[in-house]
Amino acid sequence: MRFDVVTLFPGLFDALLDFGISGRALDRGLFRFKAWNPRDFATDNYRTVDDRPYGGGPGMVMLAEPLDAALDAIETELRQVAIASHVIYFTPRGRPLDHAKVVELAGRPELTLIAGRYEGVDERFLRRRVHEEISLGDFVLSGGEIPALAVMDAVIRQLPGSLNNADSAVQESFVDGLLDAPCYTRPEIYRDEAVPEVLMSGNHKAIERWRLKQRLKLTAERRPDLLEKRGMSRAEKDLLDGKD
């Protein structure tokens, strides 16, 4: 897989590329990364990438021309390897990112991520060149780099071979529409609180049942919207109601 990121701050991506699961996946050749700075495609001596908004208002707006030129350069490279770009722009008005979207994106050979800055990007560029807009949630960030990093991290985890234990991706939160169960490790008693006895029993069927009950309970308490969307089987309802 390949990530092409259009950003004014390429150095922000070093944290993802140099460490942890994503760093190991890069070393294993599971994905490629290239940053494209719009300033390198500006046409004036000041390498200008923004200007005042028409109609007035605070802040500046990113110019369409340098972004267009950056995308043209990306697509020229991709044509040489017969790959079509899929362009994503990050904005609060976009579709909220969820696990289903992450899995969908992980199935693509390439993602071009536009990390905007300032008050936004010229709408004419977005209408012509962007395939979809994505949001991390109902809040505002200083730029698109953090959402781009989040998408990359989530997608990389889905790539075969990125996790040392392939079951980890299957057992994570949201995979089946539920939050994850609580986790415990050594020592068995910490500050007078013991690990739940069932987890020490070695009874894998009982452990699996306990974890499912905890997941249902946590999801019902903290994200009832997820549970409403997913639904529950009769057995799950009985388990959650304590009829087990």
pLDDT in tens, 63-116: 999 999 999 999 999 999 999 999 999 999 999 999 999 999 999 999 999 999
Domains 2-158 and 173-240 fall in the same CATH topology: no
Specify the CATH number of the domain 173-240: 1.10.1270.20
Asked if pLDDT for residue 167 goes beyond 80, the answer is no
Place of tokens 């390429």: 10
For 126, the token pair is 């977005």
Instruction: List CB contacts of 100: < 8 A, sequence separation 6 or more.
Output: none
Q: What is the pLDDT of residue 168?
A: 63
Environment class of residue 121 by beta-carbon count within 10 Å: exposed (0-12), middle (13-18) or buried (19+)? Answer: buried
DSSP 8-state code for residue 150 = H
Q: What is the pLDDT of residue 175?
A: 79
- DSSP secondary structure, 5-63, as one string: EE-S-GGGGHHHHHSHHHHHHHHTTS-EEEEE-GGGG--STT---EEPPTT--SS-EE-
Q: What is the pLDDT of residue 153?
A: 98
For 75, the token pair is 């697509």
Environment class of residue 188 by beta-carbon count within 10 Å: exposed (0-12), middle (13-18) or buried (19+)? Answer: exposed
Q: What's the pLDDT tens digit per position in 43-68?
A: 999 999 999 999 999 999 999 999 99
Q: What is the pLDDT of residue 243?
A: 76
Q: What is the pLDDT of residue 165?
A: 73
Q: What is the pLDDT of residue 155?
A: 98
Q: What's the pLDDT tens digit per position in 137-155?
A: 999 999 999 999 999 999 9
| Mean pLDDT to the nearest integer, 217-231 | 95
Q: What is the pLDDT of residue 225?
A: 94
Q: What's the pLDDT tens digit per position in 176-189?
A: 899 999 999 999 99
CATH topology assigned to domain 2-158: Alpha/beta knot (3.40.1280)
pLDDT bin (cut points 50, 70, 90) of residue 203 is very high
Q: What is the pLDDT of residue 51?
A: 97
Asked if pLDDT for residue 172 goes beyond 80, the answer is no
Asked if pLDDT for residue 166 goes beyond 90, the answer is no
Domain ranges across the chain = 2-158, 173-240
Place of tokens 């012509």: 128
Asked if pLDDT for residue 132 goes beyond 80, the answer is yes
Query: What is the average pLDDT value for the chain, to the nearest integer?
Result: 95
**Which residue spans within the chain are E strands per DSSP?**
2-6, 32-36, 50-51, 61-62, 87-96, 110-114, 132-135, 189-190, 193-194
What does pTM read for this prediction? 0.91
